[in-house]
Structure formats: structure tokens, C-alpha cells
Amino acid sequence: MTADVRVRFAPSPTGHLHIGGARQALFNYLFAKKHNGDFIIRIEDTDQARNIEVATDKLLRSMKWLGVNWEEGPDEGGPYGPYRSMERMDTYTKYLHQLLEEDKAYYCYMTTEELEKEREEQIARGEMPKYSGRDRNLTKEQRAEYEAKGIEPVVRFKVPEGETIVIDDAIRGQVTFEANGIGDFVIARTDGVPTYNFAVAIDDHLMKISHVIRGEEHLSNTPRQVMVFNALGMNQPTFAHAPLILNPDRQKMSKRDESIMQFVEQYQDYGYLPEALVNFLALLGWSPVGEEEIFTLDELKEQFSLDRVSKAPAVFDEAKLAWVGNQYMKAASLERVTELCIPYLQKAGKISETLSDDDHKWVTELVSMYQEQMHYAAEIVELTELFFKEDVDYDGEAKEVIASEHVPAVMSAFATQIESLDVFEADAIKKSIKAVQKETGYKGKQLFMPIRVAVSGQTHGPELPKAIELIGKETVLKRVQKAAQQ
């Protein structure tokens, strides 16, 4: 293990934080904390056409919500800044000139149309498309001729011929690439802005990154970065490529796939507990020792290791997400869950924007009845619908219950008991139901089921006396009278 562990998460500011990126950040963070190292955020914004102005702030907010904090970054600063690629242009230019002067890079004047034609011809011949190297050895005169035509060149890296690039990946083992199959790649665009594979190598070296932990989709970039390290006489970090995350159909995840929530902000918007999402993401491709699957962030820091990260793709298991979410909702304090739920009830127009102490107490008791079955806070609106409407509808099994011959007798006795109550609380309501049993002779399902259906429209639900209390006396009486008429 390197003496000083320094890892980084280097997203492009092109949108919201994707769950794949969040898992990548989490793995880096856990590895750093396990080895008392530093976790750095670096913004790779060299692709100016795709950058979104507010994306960086959104990415950082999502990371903070997850509790994945960093020692150095664009907001924190640090000894190896700046931490945005476009603020490091002078540095890239210096190394670009070094490669050009050492004949390890060169100017290429091929147009987009010429490159596309070359590619099509290679495919037609059954060849793997790559840059042919047409401009690899241009003379000064030839370069001057192109420039006289107004053609702005890119800079290409001169890939060494006949080399084998060997990468000792901490997750995948030894991986080899043949340099001849790669082709001379662009390291600076016509405007001088470096491409990802050049900039990232320079930054990783200068920021003393010890381990590059990222998704498998970056594996094909690694030989290019290794060649840049070698050409500049820089030591390369240890690479580790985590498996892809597949959708529930075991297909590669696409950001256009709306069958699952793919962005961290969506989980925050739905009221998931952040530690639940962290726990779920940690299990996507990493397996702990033993059977336990619920971990605090501190426990994950202690347990995490690269040798338990799988090579096989991880499948986004919605059932597992629901289970993990529920475990955390059940374990959270009622106060915390209530505060999470209140904004959803307010947004849905169920409760007022300003709550009195009595209102808050009522909402807290309402949430307490459903906390055990919740996966995220937004569910509270649908779960508690019956408490916010005057009337209820019966369908399916509920209709059959209400249609039973003995129901009018039970409703009549129950209405009388409820009407006589001065204190409308669960204990008193429970006694009233027992009095109905004594009066009518009906008990068990014959007693409780008609009352439950009458007041809630459902055959299953939370504790009946408490639900009746929270629905309220006036509404309960209206519903019972309707059931009697049915």
C-alpha cells in the first residue's frame, strides 16, 4: 500500500450526479478513509460544449447530502489546486509543448470529413477503425501549407509502435492492450483545450493521486493515460475499475431509461434517507464479509476493500433498494421521519404550511402508524389518503364486507357508541368497540372488519382505534352512516 493514499472523484459538470458516479465517489471515499488518506473532488470541465453552468454546484450538493465529504476540491481549495480543469490551462500547455518538442506528439490537420471518410473505408475493409497516422511525420513545409489554407490543427499523441501496455488493475487483475490497435489519439483540440485522457493524467500526477478507482467504462481510457505518464516520465497510479451497473433487465444502464431513478437528486426529492442510498450503492459491486447488509458509514469505512469488489456487473435490484430503504426508515427516530414527511403533505395540500403544536402532534401520530412500512418519505401522501377526505369508496373485498347481513347492526351500535364519546381518543374508542361486541354478539373479523372498512374503505391498515381517533369523530360518523346505508 502506498504510504499516502490520495484518491479523487473527477466528474464532468454535464448534469445531475448519476448513481454510477455516486457509487464511484463512494468507493473512493471509503478507500481513502479505510487507509487514513485524502479524498479529492476535481471537476473535469474541458468538454466545454457539454458543460452546464449550475452542474458543479448540484454535484457538490448531492455529494454533501450523501455524507461523502472531501478534503480538497473546487469549494474547499487545497495545496494542489486549482481543482477545475479549465483553470489549469497553463499547466496543460506546458506539458503539451514538452511532448511536441520531444517528438512525442504532433500537429494533425485532417478535417472532420477526411477522418470520417478514412473511418468508413477502414470499416468497409473489415478493419478496426483508428487514425491512420497520415500527419505523423509532416515536414515544416507541409505544415505551413496546411496552415496557409486556414486549417487549425489538433495535437495527437504519437503512440509507440509495437508496445504492449500492461495494467495491474487492483480489481480486474492484469489487463493488456496492444498499442498498435489504439492509434495516435488527440490530446489537444484545435482551440488548444486538452482532451480528457491528457488532462486527467497530468492532474493525477501533479495532485499525487495514488489510486484511480472508477467505473469499468473507463478501462479503455487507461492505456492512453498510461502512455502519457510514460512519455512524460511520470509514475502511474494504481488503477482499479469497478463493474458496470446494469438495469433490472441486466442491460447496460442508459440515462434515457426512465424505468429506474438514476440521479441522486431524485432520491433526495422522494425523501429517501441518504444513509440508506449510501448503503445500497455500497452493495452494488462490493460484498461485505458475512451475511450482514446494513451498515453505517463508519462501518463501511472499516470494512471496505478493493479485493471484495466484484469483476462481474452489478444489477440494480429495486427490491433490495426498497428493503434497505425500509430498514433505515424503521430505524430512524419518529421525529426525523415526521420532519421528512411534513413537506410532502404540505405540497400535496393535505396540511397547512404553518402547523400549530396540535397540528404537529396529529401529523406525528399519523406518521407513526406508517413508519414501519415506509421506504421513503414521499410515500406518506398516498399511504394516508384516507385521513384527508370526507368520504371513502369501497371496491373488491371491501364491498363484500359491507354487503354482509350483520353490518347494519354493527354500524348502528358503533355509531351510537362513537356519538356518546366525550373524549375521542384511541383508548376510549377501543372500549366502544368492545361495547359493540357485547351489544351485538359479533366479534373477531365479523366485528372489526366492517368497522375498518366503514371508516377507511380498506380491509387492511394501521391500528384501528388510533386510526379512528386521527380521522376524527365527525368524519367517522359520516362514513359509518354511509356504510349502514350500503
Please name every residue paired with 238 in a beta bridge, in sequence order, or none if there are none: 211
Give yes or no for a contact between 17 and 58, defined as CB atoms under 8 angstroms apart. Answer: yes
Is residue 236 classed as helix, strand or coil in its secondary structure? coil
Please name every residue paired with 40 in a beta bridge, in sequence order, or none if there are none: 8, 72
Question: Is 301 a known active-site residue?
Answer: no
DSSP class per residue in 276-299: HHHHHHHTSSB--SSS-----HHH
Q: How far apart are CA 203 and CA 226, in angstroms?
A: 13
Q: Hey, what's the cell of 251?
A: 442491460
Q: Provide the residue count of the chain.
A: 486
Give yes or no for a contact between 98 and 231, defined as CB atoms under 8 angstroms apart. Answer: no
Residue 58 has φ and ψ, to the nearest 5°, of -65, -45
Give yes or no for a contact between 3 and 176, defined as CB atoms under 8 angstroms apart. Answer: no
Edge-to-edge strand ranges of the sheet holding 105-108: 105-108, 154-157, 186-188
Instruction: Name the nearest CA neighbour of 158 among 102, 91, 93, 219.
Output: 102
Instruction: State the Cα angle at 164 between 245 and 21, rounded to 5°.
Output: 20
Candidates 255, 330, 399, 434; catalytic one: 255
Active site residues: 255
